[in-house]
Chain A
Amino acid sequence: MSVIVQKVAQLLSAMIFVFAMYVITHGHIMPGGGFAGGVLLAGSFIVLVLAQGQGYLKLKQQRERTSLLESLSVLLILLLGFSGLFAGSMVFFGNYLPKGQPGELLSAGNIPIYSILIGIKVAATLFTIFLALTIYKEEASK
């Protein structure tokens, strides 16, 4: 890719990243949330790799890390749901944190935490799939 594309992609990537953070953290008061934000988050990395080529990130190393992050975030979601059994109304997925004012950023109890974890999970999954495809193509062309 030309220098122009690479530079624009770098600038754009940062903006997409910030917007993804916004969508994820406002999941409980706005349309969007963990899944949509996670897709954007993965997109900000994918744009970089597309513009800079495969050498930009050490892809194989990243794939190990993203699949670990994927497992870790699901594990945390499960444990957070499990913690509901010991607090508040004593049920799985119980929403026991203080609910706050509706419409505020810090409200809705546990739900923003689930949103953030789902965002990480979706981003990691999509990026893993993307990396698997690129690595496959790289190895197939050899």
Chain B
Amino acid sequence: MENPVLIFFIFLPFLAAFLIPLLNLFWDQGKTIVLFLVSFVLMLLALIIVINPPQSTQYIPGGWYPVDNIPVGIHLVGDGLSRFMLLIINSIAFLCAIYAIPYVKMFTGQKYFYTLFFLQLAGLNGVVLAGDMFNLFVFMEVTAKASYALVAFGVRKTEIEAAFKYQVMGGLATLFMLFGIAMLYWMTSTLNMADISVVLRNNHAENTNVIHFTQLFFLAGVAIKAAMIPFHAWLPDAHSSAPSPVSAMLSGVVIKVLGIYVILRLFINVFAPSEFLSMVIAVLGGVSMTAGVILAIGAWDLKRLLAYHSISQMGYVLMGIGIGMGVIAGGGSPTTVALTFTGALFHMINHAVFKGLLFLTAGSIEYSTDTLDLRKMGGLARYMPLTMVASFAASMAIAGIPPFNGFFSKFAIIVAAIQGGYHFRAALGLLVGILTLASFVKFQRYAFFGTPRPGVTLKHTPLLMKVSMVTMAVLCLIMSLFIFPEVRAVFLDPAVNTLLETTDYALKQI
């Protein structure tokens, strides 16, 4: 069965990306209108397929069909997890897009920004829809290449250096991924993820050494993309020197899709979860969580501080996933597993919203004051009340203060850790929560309170930037509603169920 709506998530952004340079020749406003319309339509489509999931989850381009029960090698899959990711990607992208319309006027060569933005979006949508290793790899590269160029968009010295570093590390990650894919192809002779999973289970159950070897290559590649400590060297530079809407996309969406989503898909749906790997992932998560927040406390550059927090918060998600995998492998109760995965996915969407918002407020501060150094700010509450309220909501959400959304997801992860018998990890989660609060109190204190600098001239924040920030701040509160089972059943449960199926997911796809 076919589900043509899936192809639009890839087709529309590509179309917009290459339409904009042509349109720009004879119509100046065209690119803004295309940016707004296309990202809005994509967000609506994502919302529609989440609320009203289509019957079939597959789409095979090119009119191919399975022969002799051998599944088609290259296809798109839009199951619960993919639809959930599509919602995150496209809604954050829409909010960043409307924020970017006034923001990119600071730069020359705006049409390149719009084109690269859509290329990045197309790549992200492609990664979550890919049902095979080939598409996964290609779309990861599309996203990564667009991101490298976007990081360097300001073409100042630091930005180009950051982009270069990002590119070198990204290239290394690609190499690891490619090697892993080659190992898998050698073992299974297929690229279809569902088929790989079935072949691994039937023919290679005893080959644990080879499978662990392959898994570690994938994990190294993905950990670089997700910037887990000790693979994080590129992230603080890249995320802090990109233009703010791009930072919001990079921190809010890109590291989740290229990092966490690929980990979930590969290590839960394709490979069977094992004790060994769950340990590795949980330790990576715990180390990133703790070290990230300690590095953040010492940072004085606002966007750098936020970038370190991305590492720390992704550590939470990864620790949750590690605990869930550990409980599955140890044969623990399914309710604990469901709770950890719900917590991890909930924290992922929450982090997309509040970290996106924090980067947008940082952009707004930079737009008005031309500085990102916390020591040079002060007393901004009087001049930018709206930015202050938005950033306060996001700060409280990331620090895990009720009733903001961050509290509930962190709480779910910590409760699940206790239920699973991982008391040390639960304690670590609490400690990191307190340190996060400390560093955001520092941000609020230095940026918005205290005495204003004498003789500062502030630029007025444009309306569209305000609209975007207020929407996200409201979302920070509204998303607490996800704790109610009726709301959760629509947004989170389909994604969690995909993960709970583990490798049985493959049998459905074939």
Contact = CB atoms under 8 A, between A and B. Distances in A.
A75 B19 contact: yes
A78 B62 contact: no
A12 interface: no
Interface in B24-67: 25, 59-63
B501 interface: no
A130 interface: no
A114 B4 CA distance: 21
Contact of A94 (B14, B19, B62): B62
Nearest to B112: A67
A129 interface: no
A121 to B, nearest CB: 10
B370 interface: no
Nearest to A121: B18
B7 interface: yes
Given A68-B21, A68-B25, A91-B2, A75 B62 contact: no
B11 A82 contact: yes
A131 to B, nearest CB: 16
B4 A75 contact: no
A92 B25 contact: no
A92 B18 contact: no
| Dominant secondary structure at the A interface | helix
A95 B4 contact: no
B15 interface: yes
Contact of B4 (A67, A68, A88, A92): A92
B110 to A, nearest CB: 15
Given A68-B25, A82-B11, A89 B18 contact: no
Contacts of A11: none
B18 A85 contact: no
Given A75-B15, A78-B14, A78-B15, A92 B7 contact: yes
A67 B63 contact: no
A105 to B, nearest CB: 22
Contacts of A93: 61-63
B21 A71 contact: yes
B21 A67 contact: yes
B427 interface: no
Interface string B307-321: 000000000000000
B63 A71 contact: no
A84 B64 CA distance: 13
A88 B63 CA distance: 9
B18 A78 contact: yes
Interface residues of B, number: 16
Given A67-B21, A71-B21, A71-B22, A78 B11 contact: yes
A88 to B, nearest CB: 7
Interface residues of A, number: 19
B290 to A, nearest CB: 44
A88 B18 CA distance: 26
B64 to A, nearest CB: 9
Contacts of A81: 11, 61
A95 B62 contact: yes
A68 B19 CA distance: 10
A67 B60 CA distance: 32
A72 interface: yes
A29 interface: no
Contact of B22 (A68, A82, A90, A92): A68
Contact of B63 (A68, A72, A89): A89
A91 B11 contact: no
Interface string A60-99: 0000000110011011001001101100111111110000
B282 to A, nearest CB: 40
Interface in B116-145: none
A73 to B, nearest CB: 9
Contacts of A84: 62-63
Contacts of B7: 85, 92
Contacts of A71: 18-19, 21-22
Of residues A88, A90, A91, which shows the largest number of chain B Cβ atoms within 10 Å of its Cβ? A91
Nearest to A91: B63
A91 B22 contact: no
A91 B14 contact: no
Nearest to A89: B63
Contacts of A82: 11, 15
A81 B61 CA distance: 9
A63 to B, nearest CB: 13
Contact of A95 (B19, B25, B63): B63
Nearest to B63: A89
A94 B7 CA distance: 13
Contacts of B11: 78, 81-82, 92
Given A78-B18, A95-B62, A95-B63, 17 more contacts: A67-B21, A71-B22, A75-B19, A78-B15, A81-B11, A81-B61, A82-B15, A85-B7, A89-B63, A91-B59, A91-B61, A91-B63, A92-B61, A92-B62, A93-B61, A93-B62, A94-B63
22 contacts: A68-B21, A68-B25, A71-B18, A74-B14, A75-B15, A75-B18, A75-B19, A75-B22, A78-B11, A78-B14, A82-B11, A84-B63, A85-B4, A89-B63, A91-B60, A91-B62, A92-B7, A92-B11, A92-B62, A93-B63, A94-B62, A94-B63
For the complex of A and B, the 9 pairs showing the least CB-CB separation, nearest first, are A89-B63, A71-B21, A93-B62, A92-B7, A92-B61, A74-B18, A71-B18, A93-B61, A75-B18
